[in-house]
Structure 1
Amino acid sequence: MTPHAQAAPQVLIHDPTLRDGHHAVRHQLDRDQLRAYAAAADAAGIPVVEVGHGNGLGASSLQIGRAKLTDPEMLTTVREALTRSRMGVFMAPGWGTGDDLRAAVALGADVVRIAAHCTEADVTERHLGIVRELGAEAHGVLLMSHMATPAQLAKQCALLASFGAQAVGIFDSAGHYLPADVTTRITAIVAAVDVPVIFHGHNNLGMAVANSVAALQAGAAIIDGTARGFGAGAGNTQLEVLVAVLDRMGYTTGIDLRRLLAAADVAHEHLMPAPPIIDSVSLVSGLAGVFSGFKTPVLATASREGVDPVDLFFALGERQVVAGQEDLIGTVARQLAASAREAR
């Protein structure tokens, strides 16, 4: 390197294919599927491979979906397949517990994300403390972040950092953002904290890669992406596209692109019936600001109650529903059906 040359800016890639992708297949990935993708991701040099039920540790339930495997079975399978990559897990207080965290770290989880609704960071304090005590890397993340202003998100992320989070950030859980939305939010968060900032995108409006680039340019240091965009609805930021774009832009990820493409092929062939697409319902979910994981239950409920899923998504968006409130889908659908009957 010449005296005037600058090192390429670095970005840490976090891969939740085996966690967020679970939403797309009703949390039914089996051991062979987990093992195949984890081994391919490890060979590509992906820094962090996250695994678990789509809603995180302790979330397997009748309400939001029973997973094919238990948390310990999933973690053990992936841990055995990783030789270089660190293993990540995700937990939202209320679904998971301190005992779930202790079990996950004992089974080899290196990075633990504690998640909260975008205005409720205070619920993470105890669990972030547990993660730090256990010696794992603690991240604090805010879900459905489009529901809060940049100033609110900055304040909430500062709280997460004060509770011990070693990285903090936001999830565009509904795929609602445009790049300018991301820029204002990440800029505010970076100014408020002294730890790395995370961005996790969804692709409902086709903006996930552009939003991820906007996040990096605004100062984020950790970006999430899944193979082939594997995830609920229109899917997540497509990992192999993201890494290729970052390479063109001069960022360094430490990931072998050719092997990453091979890992994406493994995901396509072994994990998903078909790659996610931006269909009409996914697009409306993003416009309405509704969690992407609601797509399947919204379609089923709309069909059962005889209402338009587009109307149902917009009605759910007006009520600002969040993950965990799946029971409201039926309630709102019945209200729409009753209103339609009265209007006849």
Structure 2
Amino acid sequence: MTKIRLNDTTLRDGSHSVRHQYTEQQVRQVVRALDDANIEMIEVTHGDGLGGSSFNYGFSQVSDLDLIESAADEAKNAKIAALLLPGLGTIHDLKEAHARGAKMVRIATHCTEADVSIQHFQAARELGMETAGFLMLSHRSSPAELAQQASIMVDAGCQCVSVVDSAGALIMNEAKDRVAALYDAIGDRAQVGFHGHQNMSFGVANSVLAVEAGASQIDGSLAGLGAGAGNTPTEVAAIAFERLGIETGVDTKKILDAADLLKGMVNRLPSMDRGSIVQGQMGVYNSFLLHAERAAERYDIPAPEILAEVGRRGYVGGQEDMIIEVALDLKKSTATV
């Protein structure tokens, strides 16, 4: 029987959906429920990682360091992980997160910029932390190119590199081929993971195909809570893997209980609405959705039109501020017609 680790990102990627307004009590409740369901790794930070609370990305209600400390205090067995984007989070932030109880760090870069993560992986390994790498917007690189970037991360001390479908744009073999390329390149030195989104409704299917291609770590979020159309739902993935004879160690009844708990906490669950579908169609970074919706309200330009233009311009994570420029340009072009 194949054995994988099912990671949960409700308290990090899900932060996008709640505009980074998680309370300490909510984090404690979700961690307790996930821990009871035998989830082995729980990611906790602002949606954009350590240091993400800012004017550009949105301010957290509670600092992610305080949330990490609360999560670590609550978890009996699960490992608490933090996300870090080099250039946003710093090595100082990493050390503080470790001091507060984070045992793992996941370092995320654009799919062609793995070299900016080297010093962060080295620092994390010196701290004794488990390390993982995120190659974001993986659809923007070919399988061979992605494998080269994964090797850079592994050489720096990364223990698992994930193909990250940040726009929910990958469809079936597009995901499987990228995972297979990473497995062929680094499988004798590190694990391979997959992080899916639901924009084109392939999060669970792509995750299954990723395991078939060699992935041993799969990400999900309770009820799919996450950026864009949401993540692979943890509870659905757990049951799908159980039916397929892929062992996760997750208690499926308790993970369903955890999803019900989460649904009672949030006002809005992600959906495959027009805007998020356009993100998948055009390959737009999923955290752009709520930013585009705010710009749409302000400038009276439909959010799907803003997102489509963002896709045509090829913007990547970290360029959320450019959404305003897109909205203004579209407004200007509409006025001159």
TM superposition score normalised by structure 2:
0.97
Give me the whole-angstrom Cα distance separating, in 2, the residues matched to 1:239 and 1:264: 8
2:97 matched residue in structure 1: 104
Q: What does residue 128 of structure 2 align with?
A: 135
- Local SS of the residue matching 1:56: coil
Correspondence 1:47-126 to 2 at 5 A:
47-126=40-119
3-state SS of 1:17 partner: strand
CA distance in 2, matches of 1:173, 1:305: 26
Q: Is it true that 1:238 corresponds to 2:233 in the alignment?
A: yes
- Which digits, 9 at most, give the CA deviation of each residue in 1:220-259, with x for residues without a partner? 1100000000112210000100000000000100111111
Matched, 1:185 2:208: no
Alignment CA distance shift 1:303-1:72 (3 Å): closer
Structure 2 residue 332 is matched with structure 1 residue 324? no
| Alpha-carbon distance, 1:341 to partner | 2.3
Fraction of identical pairs, as percent? 40
Aligned residue for 1:33, secondary structure, equals helix
- CA radius of gyration, larger in: 1
**Alignment equivalent of 1:291, drawn from 263, 285, 292:** 285
Question: Contact 2:132–2:161 at 8 Å: present in 1 too?
Answer: yes
Judge which range, 299-308 or 104-113, deviates more: 299-308
Q: Which residue among 201, 206, 209 is the counterpart of 2:201?
A: 206
1:313 Cα deviation from its structure 2 partner = 1.1
Q: How does 1:261-280 map to 2 (within 5 A)?
A: 261-270=256-265, 272-280=266-274
- Whether the 8 Å contact between 2:12 and 2:47 is mirrored in structure 1 is yes
Report the residue type matching 1:241 in the other structure: V
The within-5 A match list for 1:299-338 is 299-338=293-332
Query: Unpaired segments of 5 or more residues in structure 1?
Result: 1-7
Report the 3-state secondary structure (helix = DSSP H, G, I; strand = E; otherwise coil) of the residue aligned with 1:292: coil
Match of residue 169 from structure 1:
162
Partners of 1:40 and 1:308 in 2: CA distance? 38
With structure 1 as the length reference, what TM-score do the two structures score?
A: 0.95
* CA RMSD between the two structures: 1.0
Moved more, 131-140 or 307-316: 307-316
Partner of 1:4: none
Quote the residue 1:154 is aligned against: 147
Contact 2:169 2:200 in 1 (8 A): yes
Tell me how many residue pairs correspond in the alignment. 335
Q: Is the partner of 2:287 in helix, strand or coil? A: helix
SS in 1 for 2:80: strand
Unaligned stretches of 5+ residues in structure 2: none
Q: Distance in 1 between matches of 2:46 and 2:20?
A: 6
In the alignment, which residue of structure 2 is the partner of 1:29? 22
Q: Distance in 2 between matches of 1:340 and 1:209?
A: 39
